[in-house]
Amino acid sequence: MTDTATLIPKPPRKLFVKTYGCQMNVYDSARMADVLAPHGFGPTDTAEDADMVILNTCHIREKAAEKVFSELGRLRALKMKRGFLLAVAGCVAQADGEEVMRRAPYVDIVLGPQTYHRLPEMVAKAARGEGQVLDTALSPEPKFDFLPEPKAEGAAAFLSIQEGCDKFCTYCVVPYTRGAEYSRPQDKILAEAEALAGQGVVEITLLGQNVSAWEDQVGLRLAGLIRRLARIGGIERLRYTTSHPADLDMELVDLFGEEPKLMPYLHLPVQAGSDRVLTAMNRGHDREDYFALAERLRRARPGLALSSDFIVGFPGETDADFEETMDLVREVGFVQAYSFKYSARPGTPASSMPGQVAERIKEERLARLQALLSEQTRAFNASCVGTTMAVLFDRPGRHPGQVVGRSPFMQPVHVENGAEFLGRVMPVRITAVHPNSLAGEMAGP
Ligand code: 5AD
Ligand code: SF4
């Protein structure tokens, strides 16, 4: 990037990235900041004093996409007042890039999830006043090859190992916005993990839209990769997300019983409990398969906690189908879950299926499901009081001396007077439950 830039000041420059949606976007936002750092961009946490603003967007549900356009409206006023470069990245950019440029002509750059390694060129172009820049090509390989080494931001880090999805669930835009499945090669992943460990990272969460489909050219699958990552010095905890029930091979299931560094917590979206709906969703498994998988996981690792995603009001879902979802939740038991009203996404097969469900019915079903799921979360958290858990302390708390960490089950845990334990895994006795976290005290070394 040259310094002839006219629309932004010379370095040092301030970059504000706002992230919507999934953890993959959180990872991507950090990588975009890494790519721009050598060009003099340092982070700021508000648009008010930024020289460049990036919205890293999510397209998964209608509401998520709408949020982007309302945020753009707000930024427009600010941009007219003080001027900065405005970029829209991520999945809305990928799916509706042209529309973003048309509806928001004050946006300077529109880039898809696979092109952010080219951000410096795009910034240079936009800053020269050459008009709106659009780059939404869809091949993932070059991006990973051009990314600088990641900078860790604490003791827990994400590592993207897989992108894209070939599953084509009938409601989902991901196969269109993120493209075909791609697995990063093993040596690149191990090198990134070593680099993170060298910067004090203790816990790594492997990321992929369909992470259990990860496979190296030599036929190595995710279980083998996790075994190798577990041998890296300094890495004490491993997780992976998001996996698909139909792709979870038995070696991976059994690994929960064999590899103590693999945390006993798994996000395993099921979406619905009725076979009819699962078939219409093209999920590739039925209700019994999910029960069998949950049971085998818990046999491999007693106490393993499951979380999940649910969609209510999929086209054609009857009251009886919905009751089967409620029944599945009662049967399996989840410690944590995300649930959504079905949202018709343009271009997906489900959006033109007959039997679209009325909004009012979706709302009623969602409220009932969420009440049940919250009750399960509450009961699980309450059952933790009096137990001792290994907590990784990864950030300071609100009061002086307070530290916050996470339990093996992803619960936030607060401890007073623990500043010296930041960045370490420590045994903690849980003493109380709060609405969104647990409180505890050090249980000794
Ligand atoms: N409508 C509602 N929820 C959806 N999800 C994906 N697509 C849709 C849609 N069209 C949910 C699924 C998925 C999560 C990331 O978002 O539950 O697991
Ligand atoms: Fe979407 Fe289904 Fe792929 Fe998940 S598995 S990203 S829900 S298509």
Give the pLDDT score at 143: 79
For a mutational test of ligand 2's pocket, the pick from 25, 210, 339, i.e. the residue with the most ligand atoms closer than 8 A to its C-beta, is 210
Ligand 2 midpoint to CA 172 (Å)? 6
Which pairing describes strands 156-160 and 85-89: parallel, antiparallel, or unpaired? unpaired
Least distant ligand from the CA of 311: 1
pLDDT at residue 5, as a whole number: 43
Q: How far is CA 8 from the centre of its chain?
A: 31
CB-CB contact of 14 with 44 (8 Å): yes
The CA 173 to ligand 1 mean position distance, Å, reads 9
Q: How far is the CA of 134 from the centre of ligand 2 (A)?
A: 26
**CB-side exposure of 43: number of CA atoms within 13 Å?**
12
Q: ∠ CA 134-137-140 to the nearest 5 degrees?
A: 135
Q: Which atom of ligand 2 is nearest to the CA of 244?
A: 5
Q: Looking at ligand 2, which atom is closest to the CA of residue 172?
A: 1
Beta strand pairing call for 109-111 and 85-89? parallel
Query: Mind listing the pLDDT tens digit for each residue in 141-164?
Result: 677 777 888 888 899 999 999 999
pLDDT of residue 1: 47
In this prediction the pTM is: 0.92
Say which ligand is closest to the CA of 282: 2
User: How far is Cα 36 from Cα 410, in angstroms, rounded to an integer?
Assistant: 31
CA 67 and chain centroid, separation: 18
How far out from the chain centre does Cα 214 lie? Answer: 16
CA 107 to chain centre: 25
Specify the residue with its C-alpha closest to ligand 1, atom 18: 309
- The helix (H) or strand (E) run that includes residue 324 is helix 319-332
Q: Whose CA is nearest to atom 2 of ligand 1?
A: 342
Ligand sitting nearest the alpha carbon of 21:
1
Q: If you measure from the C-alpha of residue 172 to the centroid of ligand 1, how many angstroms do you get, rounded to a whole number?
A: 6
Residue 176 CA: which ligand is closest? 2
- Tell me the C-alpha distance between 37 and 32, whole Å: 9
C-alpha 298 – ligand 2 centre gap (Å): 24
Ligand 1 interacting residues, C-beta cut-off 6 A: 60-61, 171-172, 269, 271, 309, 311, 340, 342-343, 345
**What's the CA-to-centroid distance between 173 and ligand 2, angstroms?**
8
Give the C-alpha distances (Å, rounded to integers) separating 442 from 226, 416, 419, 429: 30, 9, 12, 6
pLDDT digit of tens for each residue in the chain (445 aa)?
A: 444 445 677 788 999 999 999 999 999 999 999 999 999 999 999 999 999 999 999 999 988 888 999 999 999 999 999 889 999 999 999 999 999 999 999 999 999 998 989 999 999 999 888 889 999 987 766 777 778 888 888 999 999 999 999 999 999 999 998 889 999 999 999 999 999 999 999 999 999 999 999 999 888 999 999 999 999 999 999 999 999 999 999 999 999 999 999 999 999 999 999 999 999 999 999 999 999 999 999 999 999 999 999 999 999 999 999 999 999 999 999 999 999 999 999 999 999 999 999 999 999 999 999 999 999 999 999 999 999 999 999 999 988 989 999 999 999 999 998 889 999 999 999 999 998 899 999 996 5
Say how far residue 439 (Cα) sits from the centre of its chain.
Answer: 26
Residue 199: CA count within 13 A, CB half-sphere: 15
- Ligand 2, CB within 6 Å, residue ranges: 165, 167-169, 172, 174-175, 209-210, 244
Cα of 174 from ligand 2 centre, angstroms: 6
Q: Is 375 helix (H, G, I), strand (E, B) or coil?
A: helix
Task: Using the structure block, give the residue that is written with the tokens 């050090």.
Answer: 442
Q: Ligand 2 mean position to 221 CA, how many Å?
A: 19
Atom 16 (ligand 1) nearest CA: 60
CA pair distance 260, 273, nearest whole angstrom: 31
Ligand nearest to the CA of 245: 2
Residue keyed to tokens 């030599």: 218
Could you identify the atom of ligand 1 that is nearest to the CA of residue 22? 15
- The SS3 call for residue 390 is strand
Atom of ligand 2 nearest to the CA of 168: 8
Atom 1 of ligand 2 has which residue's CA nearest to it?
Answer: 172
**According to the model, what pLDDT value does residue 216 have?**
92
pLDDT digits (tens, 9 = 90+) for 316-327: 999 999 999 999
Q: Which of 91, 168, 169 has the most ligand 2 atoms within 8 A of CB, as the residue to mutate? A: 169
Residue among 186, 173, 43 nearest 113 (CA): 173
Domains of the chain: 4-135 (3.40.50.12160), 149-263 (3.30.750.210), 388-442 (2.40.50.140)
> What is the CA(218)–ligand 2 centre distance, in A?
25
Q: What is the pLDDT of residues 415-427, one digit of tens each?
A: 998 889 999 999 9
pLDDT of residue 2: 40
Q: How far is the CA of 280 from the centre of ligand 1 (A)?
A: 14
